Homo-oligomer: A and B are copies of this chain.
């Protein structure tokens, strides 16, 4: 009668519903009642599947960061050329971010909230690895003579990172395809806007 799904499928479905709402209005601004409404159940019933709202957030966020880091690690493992590595990082980020739109907006809207809690300590850890990867590649590029010698790697990273995390940018639209966005970004990053 009811199309019986496996328990974990039901659970995954709820996480996805919650993620959509988190993406739309932020983690804190989304109430468990809204999540439950979207699922067609009562708010209390959610606690049969999760022991807290934060545990839903945890699930979304940790899956996202594992995915991101996997992309970064693969990018630097596959190639010795820093320019190619950075290009690969950017391209892998595009794909990853497209898959985890909810996680991204959650981090942007409520970074302070999450990063302050012990439970989400892995957020800071992951961000450090991401930063270090960028700095490493930028420094190596300076040594190979591919990147400008006067580049401050850390400063450049800070200036660049957020461009990568703009959720709107990463949603292919009627105006720009994903490819166009990535190419535009890489062109900007490597060559700037000035005619040489």
Verify if A174 is at the interface (C-beta below 8 Å from B): no
Interface members, chain A 146-179 (any B CB < 8 Å): 146-149, 151-152, 154-156, 158-160, 162-163, 166, 168-169, 175-176
- A193 on the interface (CB 8 Å rule)? yes
**Once the chains bind, are A192 and B190 in contact (CB under 8 Å)?**
yes
- Chain A: residues with Cβ within 8 Å of the partner, total of 47
Interface status of A188 (Cβ within 8 A of chain B):
yes
- Using Cβ atoms and an 8 Å threshold, which residues of chain B touch A109? 109-110, 112
A141 is an interface residue with CB less than 8 A from chain B: yes
Q: Which of B110, B145, B175, B189 contacts A192 (CB 8 A)?
A: B189
Whether, in the assembled complex, A9 has its beta carbon less than 8 Å from a beta carbon of chain B, the answer is no
Would A112 and B184 count as touching, CB distance under 8 A? no
Determine if A13 is an interface residue (Cβ-Cβ < 8 Å): no
A24 shortest CB reach to chain B, Å:
8
Known: A159-B188, A162-B162, A188-B156. A151 touches B29 (CB 8 A): no
Given the known inter-chain contacts A29-B28, A162-B166, A192-B192, please indicate yes or no for A156 contacting B138, CB distance below 8 A. no
Known: A138-B193, A156-B188, A162-B162. 6 other contacts (CB 8 A): A26-B113, A145-B195, A160-B188, A187-B192, A188-B192, A192-B192
A-B contact pairs, 6 of them (CB 8 A): A108-B108, A156-B184, A159-B185, A163-B163, A187-B192, A191-B194
